[in-house]
Structure 1
Amino acid sequence: MNIYKERPNSIPWPPLLLLVSTLAAILLGRTVPLPLEFGGIRILGGLLIIGAIGIDLWAMRTLHEAHTTILPNRGTNRLVDHGPFGLSRNPIYVANMVLLVGMGCVTMNAWFLLLAPVDGVMTHYLAIRREENHLLAKFGYQFEAYCRKVRRWI
């Protein structure tokens, strides 16, 4: 049996990476400040945070309505290709990066902005690749067709 068929990962990497990135940005901001200072940055950050939370809630609702898991370390029983998943194969991970940028703008701490792409790269290697193998093993051609229609990020 394919090891990816049962579940993609044993560790829920994406939320852990988001937490580590947030804590690292806060600690780095206190030890080596990289201030962001220009008019309207906090408003922009607030809008980004609201947008990221909105995407997360939309994606969670879509997964719930499809009767499948939101947990990144659990196996799925349905291929969800509508809602935000019709725009990005990983809308929650995109929202995580947007959330980091928004937090950086609100706190005026550039470390958040610098760590957002690091979070994305780590998420790609620790979670997305395994999740995609899981979906390919589980749904085969249906997942391949979905990949041809919808980009991985945006």
Structure 2
Amino acid sequence: MPKAPFPPPLLYLTFIAVAIALSYALPLPVPDTSWTRATGVALIVLGQGLSFWAMLRFKRQATSPSNFEQPDQLLQHGPFAVSRNPVNLGDTLAYAGIGVLLSSLWPWLLLPALIAIMNRAVIRPDEAQLEQQFGDTYRQYCRRVRRWL
């Protein structure tokens, strides 16, 4: 069964580090105002709140949130009723918030590559594992709930 080659938080942190490095090496500034800072903080809080809510659901259902372990249950309620990947969605919102706070265009230019890598290297292997493990129940869930939003 294909597994994610690395933990998703490491991928997000790597992209943030690259964005910061590029922001210093080749500045592409965007406006930095009290409104943009508040928006950045709100995105981080919203994103991490969503991620923590999803992680709490994993804990309460006593199943693994790890991309490296097989889950015992298919979660379909709470944040999983809105997104099949609420932790990744939350981390992406937090990444966007950090991007706003960096006042640089680089995080936004890197975002499509981050999403593409997440889809290919993390989410698709997870989906293959879940489909093999939960079969029709997972396929029906996929028809009801979108991958991201």
In the other structure, the counterpart of 1:120 is 115
In the other structure, the counterpart of 1:58 is 53
In the other structure, the counterpart of 2:43 is 48
Correspondent of 1:37 among 15, 31, 38: 31
Q: Does 1:28 align with 2:22?
A: yes
Task: List per-residue Cα deviations over 1:79-103 (Å, max 9, x = no partner).
Answer: 0011111000011111122111100
In the other structure, the counterpart of 1:16 is 10
- Structure 1 residue identity aligned to 2:139: E
**Structure 1 stretches of 4+ moved >4 Å:** none
In the other structure, the counterpart of 2:62 is 67
Mapped contact 2:4–2:122 kept (Cα < 8 A):
no
- Structure 1 residue identity aligned to 2:104: N
Q: Output the aligned Cα RMSD.
A: 1.3
Q: Structure 2 length normalisation: TM-score?
A: 0.93
Q: Structure 1 length normalisation: TM-score?
A: 0.90
Mapped contact 1:13–1:123 kept (Cα < 8 A):
no
Cα distance, 1:36 vs structure 2: 1.3
Mapping for residues 74-113 of structure 1, pairs under 5 Å: 74-113=69-108
Tell me the distance in 1 between the aligned counterparts of 2:24 and 2:147: 34
Structure 2 unpaired stretches of 5+: none
Tell me the distance in 1 between the aligned counterparts of 2:142 and 2:41: 32
- Structure 2 residue identity aligned to 1:87: V
Structure 1 unpaired stretches of 5+: none
Tell me the distance in 2 between the aligned counterparts of 1:92 and 1:117: 18
Mapped contact 1:13–1:126 kept (Cα < 8 A):
no
